[in-house]
Amino acid sequence: MTVPPPIAMLAELTHRCPLSCPYCSNPVALQGRQSELDTATWADAFQQAAELGVLQLHLSGGEPASRPDLVDLTRAAREAGLYTNLITSGIGLTPKRLDALEAVGLDHVQLSLQGTHADLADRIGGYKGGFARKMAVAQEIRDRGIPLTLNAVMHRQNLDDLDRTIEMAVELGARRLEVACVQFHGWATLNRAALLPTREQTEATKRKVAEAEARLRGVLAFDFVPPDYYSDFPKSCMGGWGSTGLNIVPDGKVLPCHAAETIPHLQFDRITDRPLREIWYDSPAFNAYRGTDFLPETCRSCERVGIDFGGCRCQALAIAGDAAATDPVCRKSPDHHRVTALLDEAMRDADGADFTYRVAPR
Amino acid sequence: MSLTIAESDRTCTLAIADSDRPYLPRGVRLKADKVRGGTVLLAPEKAVALDAIGEAILSRVNGQARLGEIIDDLAATYNAPREQIAGDVQVFLQGLRARVFLQVKS
């Protein structure tokens, strides 16, 4: 098969973060500051990415503002010709720093939202005072006219506030709202009972998003990630493994997706050991699940194989025990009963389920 | 990279008047794609590969030109019926406007 060049790169600059959200997309084994790549190595990675065909760079973490060199990194990304998105909780973005980021050409900010009011948001983020600081940062972003996306991470404990979330996005002047229902990898799997929404919440969410999307067309664009355990068919994870995006983690390992390290038999190359181009086109990890030939007959004979590529490899491993299996979310999967069992278990244990918060890396 | 075109039943609030001056808001820009060729429209966390028609339209969108002038210019340049060009341009720009990739001023 012909491998296309990647479009987007996620740069996890650090795993450090003042928040400790119980669904953090970082791995459960977090990397500390001493293993992080330095400024020059990141700058070189951005240059290589641009030459490889990457158009969109997501500067993320952890909290990317925890990196003292965030402004230098943003400048390097823009000089490489990349469109720069800053994916942040807002904590650590002082007015002075926002001025500096604007001056070096930051294109866009994606601000996370844990909840619509301080009690809820600070409890979920595990950081007292975080909501108030975030709202202040949102106002600073708005005052400068920096394009803003609000990323509302949604789950059982805040989905009933979706209407207010949408209102807030409009009030904050966001052009785009991600209604990102928690996907269950890493930390989130430790909190499934507390986070999995009910079927009723899921149906209401789909209805509300569709209604708001029609009403706010031209004002607020929506990206909706539904809770996939209730879906008939799996999500098109990463648009297909190794087809559109890649991820560099704080110590320089290059992954096909942020959760790929949960697949233990894959070995990931580091940007410090091998050119990014070789890693993308030639490394065994990136070629492991490219295309659809590796999939079972259930998928290969399915009319949706070109739409969802058999779903998420990490989820196939986590639930079905085989990273090459049909994503068990699919109703055609022979392992679908395992998803149903997880749902039943989560609903049974939901009342009184406490969060296991993400811990701070050293 | 794909482009969603607004459906005709959604266009009531997004229609652009001949006197409107469309523009790409901050954070939306065109870029030559050196690796794949052609031009891409870059927007927050999105990249849209433009075909020749999209490129011809957006290269005339600068916040100064009015929609009517853009259509006149395209009709003259491509020697095509104005009505047909007007329809194509409206559908294309409304699709972008729906996603807030394009805004207009009067």
Mean pLDDT along residues B7-27: 80
The pLDDT tens digits for A305-325 are 999 999 999 999 999 999 999
B25–A147 CB contact, under 8 Å: yes
Position B11 pLDDT exceeds 70: no
Q: Is B29 inside any structural domain? A: yes
User: Where would I find the H helices in chain A?
Assistant: 39-52, 70-79, 95-103, 118-125, 130-144, 162-171, 192-195, 199-215, 276-282, 284-287, 297-300, 305-308, 313-315, 336-349
Q: 0.90 cut: is pTM over it?
A: yes
Q: Is B13 inside any structural domain? A: no
A110–B47 CB contact, under 8 Å: no
The pLDDT tens digits for B18-69 are 999 999 999 999 999 999 999 999 999 999 999 999 999 999 999 999 999 9
| Residue A330 is assigned to a ligand binding site | no
CB A320 within 8 A of CB A332: no
Which residues of A are less than 8 Å from B27 in CB distance?
Answer: 107-108, 146-147, 175
Distances (CA, A) of A38 to A186, A255, B67: 26, 19, 48
Interface test with A, best of B11, B46, B102 (most A CBs within 10 A): B46
| Residue A314 is assigned to a ligand binding site | no
Query: What is the per-residue DSSP string for A296-327?
Result: -HHHHTSTTHHHHTTS-HHHIIIIIS-TTSPP
Position B12 pLDDT exceeds 60: no
Which residues of B are less than 8 Å from A86 in CB distance?
Answer: none
Q: What is the mean pLDDT of chain A?
A: 97
Whether the CB of A224 is below 8 Å from some CB of chain B: the reply is no
A5–B45 CB contact, under 8 Å: no
User: Amino acid identity, residue A264?
Assistant: P
- pLDDT at site A362: 67
Mean pLDDT along residues B83-101: 97
Which domains are seen in chain A, by residue range? 8-225 (3.20.20.70), 237-349 (no CATH)
Q: Is B35 inside any structural domain? A: yes
Q: Is B8 inside any structural domain? A: no
Whether the CB of B35 is below 8 Å from some CB of chain A: the reply is yes
Q: What is the CATH number of the domain that holds B69?
A: 1.10.10.1150
CB A77 within 8 A of CB A59: yes
B40–A55 CB contact, under 8 Å: yes
Mean pLDDT along residues A110-122: 98
Position B3 pLDDT exceeds 90: no
pLDDT above 90 as % of chain A? 97
Q: What range defines the domain where residue B37 resides?
A: 21-105
Whether the CB of B48 is below 8 Å from some CB of chain A: the reply is no
β pairing state of B103-105 and B21-23:
antiparallel
Q: Please report the residues numbered 66 through 95 in chain B whose beta carbons come closer than 8 angstroms to any beta carbon of chain A.
A: none
Interface test with B, best of A7, A60, A112 (most B CBs within 10 A): A7
Q: What contacts A323, CB < 8 A, 6 or more positions away?
A: A263, A265, A288, A289, A313, A314, A316, A317
Position B5 pLDDT exceeds 60: no
Cis peptide before A240 (omega within 30 of 0): no
The beta-carbon neighbor of B42 closest among A52, A83, A175 is A83
Whether the CB of A219 is below 8 Å from some CB of chain B: the reply is yes
The pLDDT tens digits for A63-73 are 999 999 999 99
Whether the CB of A216 is below 8 Å from some CB of chain B: the reply is no
pLDDT range class, residue A263, cuts 50, 70, 90: very high
Domain total in chain B: 1
Mean pLDDT along residues A269-291: 98
ipTM: 0.94
Q: Give the chain B residue nearest A57 (alpha carbons).
A: B45
pLDDT range class, residue B9, cuts 50, 70, 90: very low
Q: What is the mean pLDDT of chain B?
A: 90
Which residues of B are less than 8 Å from A221 in CB distance?
Answer: 98-100
B10–A108 CB contact, under 8 Å: no
pLDDT range class, residue B4, cuts 50, 70, 90: very low
Q: Is B2 inside any structural domain? A: no
Which residues of B are less than 8 Å from A145 in CB distance?
Answer: 26
Q: Is B67 inside any structural domain? A: yes
User: Amino acid identity, residue B104?
Assistant: V
Secondary structure class of A151 (helix, strand, coil): strand
| Residue A312 is assigned to a ligand binding site | no
